[in-house]
Structure 1
Amino acid sequence: MTVKVDHLGPLEQTALLTEYARALDSRAADPILADPLSDEVVSKIDFDFTRLGVTPSVMRLVALRAKMLDERIRRFVLDNPHSTVVDLGAGLNSMIHRVDPPPTVNWYSVDLPAVIDVREALLPEHRCSRVVAASLTEPGWADPIPADRPTMVVADGLVAFLTEPSIIAIVRGAVGHFPEGILAFNDYGPVSRLNRIAGRIATRGANSPHQQWNFAGFKDARYPETWDARLRLAEEASVMHRPETAAFPLSLRLASRLSRRIPSIARKARILQYRY
């Protein structure tokens, strides 16, 4: 049985590219994330993924940032076995299966209703899994989620597609709803119009997520502290500084070496964590 996704809008279809990138990584001889479930999910979708033009560099970057976020969630769950994890813009990401938290953890995957329907049709059940079908840009998206536990709010590949006012509203909604926890997301540093055009060319697909890019990004990792006074920077970690960059294509490998001396390169692919 295959699942059709033609009804998904352009923004909703950005979930397809990241899942396909994770699937391609799982097929590699030297996978970084090694998520075979992503390949199973992709095989069940009636869609020509080659249209997305996922390059080896995009594949590796998506896989490594996912691995880094997984590691941070595992650490949080280990320190807080009775906690809540909230995956914003969850798409088709099988993060919950990779992390595989204990049954004492409540895990909420939040995304638009059409995406949640596809997710529910494709991903296997997990004992900790709950879903919230809602638009993050609408107030009250967090209302169905209990706020009685330490909470880690995670966003993998989400903020680039939102305007800054929308991001601020989402962050304030999360921090205001959950009284104690961590906010973690991947970031691309300052993103110019030239960067966006280069991204469209690199991915080459008509459904390239760069067509949906809305956020100009920021240089200083403390900048999100201005979004809500309760946020405090806890970590800034560059994908480019990881040992797994040895598996990157040559040009990206060279960029990772340069990133040790050129901070602007390191900022182009980073994981940020904030406590509140």
Structure 2
Amino acid sequence: MSGKSSGSAGLSGVPETLLITLAARVVASSQNADLGFVDPAAERIAASLKFDPGRFSDDHASMRGTIVRAQWFDGIARRFIEAQPDGLVISIGSGLDTRANRIAPPAGVDWIDIDFPEVTELRDRLVPPLGRTRNLAADGTAVATWAQTVPWDAGRATLVMAEGVSMYLEPREAATWLRGLTDAASARQSRMTLALDLASPLMVRQSHRHPSVSKTKARFQWGVRRPEEVNSLAEGLVLSESYDVAAHSGTASRIAAAIYRAVTRGRPIYCCARFEYGTG
């Protein structure tokens, strides 16, 4: 997963896609007020970067879908923290997300936001860590490297979130990454919750036509027919929850999701999924 080169805000390729999510958060109160999503920091961050959300905001389906997805991940994080007030939260590919600020985890929770060095440099300036939150410059797929530098202690319950990450990985890279996560949890005898979003093979094939992604140099590379396929890539992962994002992302997306499910015997075109490891 390449993170080099230059572009908007000094970013290009996969890192540049963080601007899509930033745009969605900036326009959420005007385009998708019914969702009740509030992120006061988004406009400040956009202004600091001199970023015009209009570059992506005409892609209404993505703007709404991004907020629907963000709310799902917010809910996962809140429920985990309520159950594990001394747990560890690791967010891979955080971009300029402000989830920790929105959720305000209790003092016992360590929260690590991981992203490429050029993104982390922006985070340190625009989303400075508070309390026991920390920004970590690393390749999120290199689990064996960064896992040694975070407080993933033996037996500590851990939530790993990867929002808008998996589809940019090559298939072999995705499988290696997933096994790296389960290996790290196993070595620490730790219960792990993994939350991520998953593209379908159709989305991967059509990513060059995606209204927002096509404006960057990034392209989708990995997709699954059903979220259950992830279970077979890393032994011990068990699907506990899935959520059809496309079905809640506006009329056009809802119709597309329904048609796709009808012709594929119930497969989601794009979903979020929660997996558990080490619960048995």
Give the TM-score range, shorter chain.
0.7 to 0.9
- What do the CA deviations read for 1:52-90 (whole angstroms, capped 9, x no partner)? 465111100000011011101111111111100000001
Deviation at 1:265, TM superposition (A): 7.9
Query: In structure 1, what is the Cα distance between the partners aligned to 2:200 and 2:265?
Result: 8
Residue in structure 1 matched with residue 74 of structure 2 by the alignment:
70
TM-score, normalization: structure 2? 0.83
Gaps of 5+ in 1: none
Please give the TM-score of this superposition, normalised by the length of structure 1: 0.85
Report the CA distance shift for 1:29/1:64 in structure 2 as closer, same or farther (over 3 A).
closer
1:235 matches 2:241? yes
- Higher mean C-alpha deviation, range 52-61 or range 230-239: 52-61
| CA 1:104–1:51: 2 relative to 1, 3 Å | same
CA distance in 1 between counterparts of 2:58 and 2:184 reads 37
Cα distance change, pair 264–43 in 1 and its aligned pair in 2 (3 A): farther
Q: Aligned residue for 2:86?
A: 82
Could you tell which deviates more after superposition, 215-224 or 134-143? 134-143
Contact 1:240–1:266 (CA<8 Å) still a contact in 2?
Answer: no
Residues 68 and 79 (structure 1), Cα distance of their counterparts in 2 relative to 1, 3 Å cut:
same
Is the 8 Å Cα contact of residues 171 and 228 (structure 1) preserved in structure 2? yes
Question: Does residue 112 of the first structure (1) align with residue 116 of the second (2)?
Answer: yes
Matches of 2:147 and 2:112, distance apart in 1: 10
Q: Is the 8 A contact 1:142 1:173 kept in 2?
A: no
For residues 22 and 215 of structure 1, do their structure 2 counterparts lie closer, same or farther at Cα, with a shift above 3 Å needed? same
Match of 1:140 in 2: 145
- State how far apart, in whole Å, the 1-side matches of 2:272 and 2:213 are: 25
Structure 2 gap ranges (5+): 1-6
Match of 2:191 among 180, 183, 186: 180
Alignment root-mean-square deviation, CA: 2.6
2:46 paired residue among 42, 45, 56: 42
Q: How many residues align?
A: 263
2:196 matches 1:190: no
- Indicate the percent of aligned positions where both proteins have the same amino acid: 24
Which position in structure 1 is the counterpart of 2:275? 274
Candidates 169, 178, 192, aligned match of 1:171: 178
Of the structure 1 ranges 169-178 and 106-115, higher mean CA displacement relative to structure 2 is found in 169-178
**How far is 1:47 from its partner?**
3.5
The 1:53–1:10 alpha-carbon spacing in structure 2 relative to 1, beyond 3 Å, is farther
Determine if the alignment matches structure 1 residue 51 to structure 2 residue 25.
Answer: no
Shift of 1:214: 3.8
Letter in 1 for 2:273: L
Q: How does 1:3-14 map to 2 (within 5 A)?
A: 6-14=9-17
Partner Cα distance (2:251, 2:241) in 1: 28
Matches within 5 A, 1:185-264: 185-191=196-202, 194-199=205-210, 202-203=211-212, 206-207=215-216, 211-240=217-246, 245=248, 249-255=250-256
